[in-house]
């Protein structure tokens, strides 16, 4: 299996710049997720790797081959499209065999590979059917099967689960994870769904505004977001971002929010001079309690195993907190919030993130 090296790649559609000097290394057998909001350039980057978009500047290498000037069929990649893109007039078996026939693979070998893929994906009984006779989940599996039979160096998935309903999405996500373990292949997944990215990928590439914002393991991205965008985008519900001033107490930053002090474990030593600090708190770090910061409940979301409480601090700052699943908190209640400052993050005026030392 091959790794990928993307060097200083840029792309514009007319006068609209969609990717700006993007560089990225992907190790062999790694599962990478491109995560970002619509229009961030993640799908364009995937399509450039596949050869479906030209590269304006920069280079793309798959293994030891430079591929950015090769046609799509010669790059050794397989792409699973968001809308499956199955050939409607061909049977499931012909859909999977089409690419192999085009490169002159022997009939017996084609049949063997198609049957193998069908067995892995539980499509055995469906090989003679046309795509129009399949459910959404089955179509998705055929699209994956079409990729598998080619034994590509690199699998590309363009939002493959977005057309499935919630239950099927969860099941297919699990199947993708199992498939990945079985195939031991390099894979890139494009998604705007952070749960998909967090659960499937070895590393996540968070993108926004034509640029890579952060590359890291799911927990790294979650626990140590590089900037305020990543902090707000990854995690559901979003991280609380509160305006703060900071002061030094024993070498660590203490944030002052709405007049109250929150002691963090972020070392003062690494912090730049900035007038506009923001404190980042995941909702699980803000608990409803008998004492602590006073707040008023605006809205309550009961999720079963936990309750999300949307409240306002005394100065009107909105904050999302957590409570137990059987919480009795109701809209309009006056409550207190206990804040776990040890897991808090700080963001400077430029948006850069600062975190507690990993050992802390």
Partner 1 sequence: MSHASHKSLRNTLVLVTLIVLGFIMLIPLIWTVLLSLKANGELMRSTANAFHGPYTLENYIDILNNSSVFRWLMNSVIVSGLTTLGVLVLSSLAGYGFARLDFPGRDKLFLFVLFGLAIPEQAVIITRHQLFTALHLHNSYPGLILPGLAAPFGVFLMTQYFRAIPKELDEAALLDNASRFQVFWKVLLPLTLPAQATLGIFTFLASWNEYWWPLISATRSEMFTLTVGLAASQINFAQTSGLGYLMTQAVFAATPILVVYIIFQKYIVKAVSGAAAR
Q: How far is the CB of 103 from partner 1 (least distance, A)?
A: 5
Looking at the Cβ atoms of 13 and 87, the one nearer to partner 1 is 87
Quick one: 56 or 333, whose CB is closer to partner 1? 56
Tokens of 191: 């998604």
CB distance 341 to 255 below 8 Å:
yes
Residue 83, helix vs strand vs coil:
coil
Q: 84 or 354, CB closer to partner 1? A: 84
- Nearest approach, Cβ of residue 87 and partner 1 (Å): 6
DSSP conformation class of 113: H
Residues that bind partner 1 (CB under 8 A): 50-52, 71-74, 77-79, 81, 83, 85-89, 98-99, 102-103, 146, 150
Select 1 or 85, whichever has its Cβ closest to partner 1. 85
In the complex, minimum distance from the CB of residue 144 to partner 1, in angstroms, rounded to a whole number: 13
Instruction: Report the C-alpha gap between 320 and 239 in whole angstroms.
Output: 8
Distance CA 302, CA 229 (A): 27
Nearer to partner 1, 149 or 228 (CB): 149
Q: Report CA Rg, the chain.
A: 24
Report the nearest approach of partner 1 to the CB of residue 99 (Å).
Answer: 3
Cβ 284 vs Cβ 322: under 8 Å = yes
Q: How far is the CB of 114 from partner 1 (least distance, A)?
A: 13
* Concatenated DSSP letters of 286-316: EEEESSSEEEEEEEEEE-SSEEEEEEEETTS
DSSP at 340? -
Give the angle 173-175-181 at the CA atoms, nearest 5°. 110
Which SS3 state, helix, strand or coil, does residue 211 take? Answer: strand
Nearest to 266 by CA among 281, 276, 284, 286: 281
Of the candidates 190, 186, 180, 188, the residue with the CA atom closest to the CA atom of residue 158: 190
**Least CB distance from residue 58 to partner 1, whole Å?**
21
Q: Which is nearer to partner 1, 158 or 322 (CB)?
A: 158
Q: In angstroms, what is the minimal distance from the CB of 115 to partner 1?
A: 19
User: What minimum distance in Å lies between the beta carbon of 184 and partner 1?
Assistant: 21
Of 77 and 288, which has the nearer Cβ to partner 1?
Answer: 77
Q: Are 279 and 255 in contact (CB under 8 A)?
A: yes
Residue 333 belongs to what H/E stretch? Answer: none
Instruction: Collect all residues with Cβ–Cβ distance below 8 Å to 250 and sequence separation of at least 6.
Output: none
Is the CB of 89 or the CB of 328 nearer to partner 1?
A: 89
């Amino acid at each position: 299996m091959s790794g990928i090296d993307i060097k200083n790649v840029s792309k514009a559609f007319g006068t609209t710049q969609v990717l700006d000097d993007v560089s990225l290394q992907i190790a062999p057998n790694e599962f990478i997720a491109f995560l970002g909001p619509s229009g961030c350039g993640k799908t364009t980057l995937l399509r450039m790797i596949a050869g479906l978009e030209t590269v304006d500047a920069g280079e793309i290498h798959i293994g030891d081959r430079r591929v950015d000037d090769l046609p799509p069929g010669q790059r050794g990649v397989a792409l699973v499209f968001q809308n499956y893109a199955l050939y409607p007039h061909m049977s499931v078996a012909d859909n999977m065999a089409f690419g192999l026939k085009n490169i002159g693979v022997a009939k017996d070998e084609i049949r063997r590979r198609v049957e193998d893929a069908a067995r892995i994906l539980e499509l055995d009984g469906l090989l003679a059917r046309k795509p129009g006779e399949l459910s959404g989940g089955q179509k998705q599996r055929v699209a994956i099967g079409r990729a598998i039979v080619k034994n590509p160096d690199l699998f590309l998935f363009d939002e493959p689960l977005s057309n499935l309903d919630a239950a099927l999405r969860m099941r297919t996500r699990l199947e993708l994870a199992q498939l990945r373990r079985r195939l031991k292949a390099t894979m890139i997944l494009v998604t705007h769904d952070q749960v998909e990215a967090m659960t499937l990928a070895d590393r996540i590439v968070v993108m926004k505004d034509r640029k890579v914002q952060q590359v890291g393991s799911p927990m790294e991205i979650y626990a140590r977001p590089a900037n305020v965008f990543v902090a707000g985008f990854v995690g559901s519900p979003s991280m609380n971002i509160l305006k703060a001033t900071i002061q030094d107490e024993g070498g660590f930053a203490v944030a002052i929010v709405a007049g109250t002090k929150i002691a963090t474990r972020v070392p003062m030593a690494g912090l730049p001079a900035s007038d506009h600090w923001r404190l980042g708190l995941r909702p699980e770090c803000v608990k409803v309690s008998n004492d602590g910061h006073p707040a008023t409940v605006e809205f309550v979301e009961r999720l079963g195993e936990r309750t999300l409480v949307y409240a306002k601090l005394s100065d009107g700052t909105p904050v999302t907190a957590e409570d137990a699943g059987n919480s009795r908190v109701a809209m309009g209640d006056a409550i207190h919030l206990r804040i776990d400052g040890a897991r808090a993050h700080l963001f400077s005026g430029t948006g850069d993130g600062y975190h507690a030392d990993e050992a802390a």
